[in-house]
Structures are given as C-alpha cells and as structure tokens.
Amino acid sequence: MNTSQTPTNGKSRGRRWFRRGHRWAGLSLVVFVVYLSVSGIALNHSGDLELERRYLDWPWLLDAYGLEAPTPSASFADTGHRATLLGERLFLDGRDTGQREAALNGIAALGPLVLVAGEQSVSLFTDDGEFVEAIDLGSRLTGPIERVGRSGDRAVLQTASETLQSDADVALFEPWDRVSAAHWSVATLPDEAEIAALKSAWRGRGVTVERLLLDLHSGRIFSAAGPLLMDLVAVLLILLSVSGIILSRVRNRRK
C-alpha cells in the first residue's frame, strides 16, 4: 500500500514545488519585465521623442557616469584672460577650447592673440577664444617650457637652459637674452564661482535621455554587474517560458 503511494506523493510534491517556483520566479521578474518593456518601447521611439536631444544634468547621475569634474590642476591669468587645466582639458576664459594638454605652464595675452603654453607646445587663440593654431615646439626646445611671459606684443618662453621670443605673428621663436624685460605669467587659482562654472562647463550638457535609457535597458548603468544581472534576468525569463509550457501541458493532460 505504502509502496504504491510514495512515488505518487513524491511526484505531486515535485509538481507543487515546480508550480510554486514558477509562480515566484514570475512574480520576482514582474519589475524587470515592466522595466525592460517600458525602456524598450521608449528606445524604439527615440527619434520621435527626440530622446537623443534631451539632456539630463542631475549631479548624482553625472557622478554615476563618472563625470565628476576634476579640480583645476593649473591656472594662469593675463590681462583679462584666464587659462585653466581641468584634467587634460584646456579652458580659456571659462570655455572648453577642445585642446588637450598634459600640463599648463603659462599664458600671454598679445593683443589680438592669446598664447597658452604646455610643456612642449603652445596653442594660439584669438582674443575672443577662437582656436588659431597649435605649435609643436618639441624639436625646437632644449627642455620643457617652464615660464611663459610677454615682452610688448611678443610671447616669451623659458626652459631651464634658454629663453625664446616669438615674432610679431607668433609664427617663429628665436633665442632671446633680455629675460629681465619680460612680464612673466604667474599661476593663480580661480575663485570659487569661476571653479564652479568651469566644472559645469567640463561636464557639458550632461547625458542624453537616450543614453540613459540604453544603459538602463542593458544594465550598464549599474557598472560591470549590471549586464550580468540583465543576463540572469534573460535566462530566468527563458526558464519561466519553458516551465510555463510544461505546466500548461501537464494541466491539459489532466483534463
């Protein structure tokens, strides 16, 4: 009697656990199904909703994206112009110049042109901040630029062993020995308000809604573990589908 009942009880217990597991897996995945469906629909209509043109600049979101602005590593001012280096991005008068520098060693306001010097090169801008030219002086210099100044409307660059002066067009640099006649730029930190404005400019407009949705959809917003979590959700959804088919077939067979 007992021997014929045990397998039946075992089977029904197994089915009960299977059904319970299916139900709990389904309930726990509801949030993800809604989450993936809503973000998927929004991404499908990204163009119509202009999601690639809408920007979010919430500080916590930008921090999550690693867009935490660095503090200025160097800043020089001369005659109403200020050059500041944030990370490797060069800012002139509060605007991102688009130029990258490993170091910032001085500025010289030369009337219509503004010269900003790194270690081996100088960048020229117009008085209103438009980029003119980057001049690679690496092969011309005997060492890295240490000081930048001006003498009249000429730029002056100083390395450990020589001093060079530019011509009027800032096209050529020639050795110069009247070092005491130069007005050297000195590193000064911008004030708090300027630093805040620079950090805001460094972050730019922020992250597009489309980017955020893509990263939410793929799980990348949650760093390296996010895609793995989404993979797990996808595997569970597949298992849920299979278990649903099995349960439905069992029920049909009983009927």
Give the residues lining the site for other proteins (CB under 8 A): 98, 126, 130-136, 138-140, 169, 171-172
Torsion angle in degrees (nearest 10) through CA of 173, 178, 179, 183: -80
Q: How far is the CB of 135 from other proteins (least distance, A)?
A: 7
Give whichever of 172 and 232 is closer to other proteins, judged by the CB atom: 172
Strand, coil or helix: what is 14? helix
Displacement of CA 152 from its chain's centroid (Å): 41
Give whichever of 169 and 191 is closer to other proteins, judged by the CB atom: 169
Give whichever of 135 and 216 is closer to other proteins, judged by the CB atom: 135
Give whichever of 8 and 139 is closer to other proteins, judged by the CB atom: 139
Q: How far apart are CA 130 and CA 177, in angstroms?
A: 31
126 contacts 114 by C-beta, under 8 angstroms: yes
Q: How far is the CB of 101 from other proteins (least distance, A)?
A: 15
Residue 11 backbone dihedrals phi, psi, to 5 degrees: -65, -45
- Cite the DSSP H helix spans in the chain: 2-44, 46-49, 59-64, 192-203, 209-218, 225-254
Give whichever of 167 and 231 is closer to other proteins, judged by the CB atom: 167
Q: How far is the CB of 23 from other proteins (least distance, A)?
A: 49
Give whichever of 52 and 133 is closer to other proteins, judged by the CB atom: 133
Q: How far is the CB of 211 from other proteins (least distance, A)?
A: 17
173 contacts 164 by C-beta, under 8 angstroms: yes
Give whichever of 169 and 192 is closer to other proteins, judged by the CB atom: 169
Q: Which helix (H) or strand (E) holds 129?
A: none
Summary count for the chain: helices (H), strands (E):
6, 15
Q: How far is the CB of 171 from other proteins (least distance, A)?
A: 5
Q: How far is the CB of 149 from other proteins (least distance, A)?
A: 22
Contacts of 36 (CB under 8 A, 6+ apart): 217, 233
User: What value, to the nearest 5°, has the Cα angle with vertex 119 and ends 118 and 122?
Assistant: 45
Q: How far is the CB of 159 from other proteins (least distance, A)?
A: 16
- Both tokens of 243, joined, read 């278990």
Tell me, what DSSP letter sits at residue 187?
B
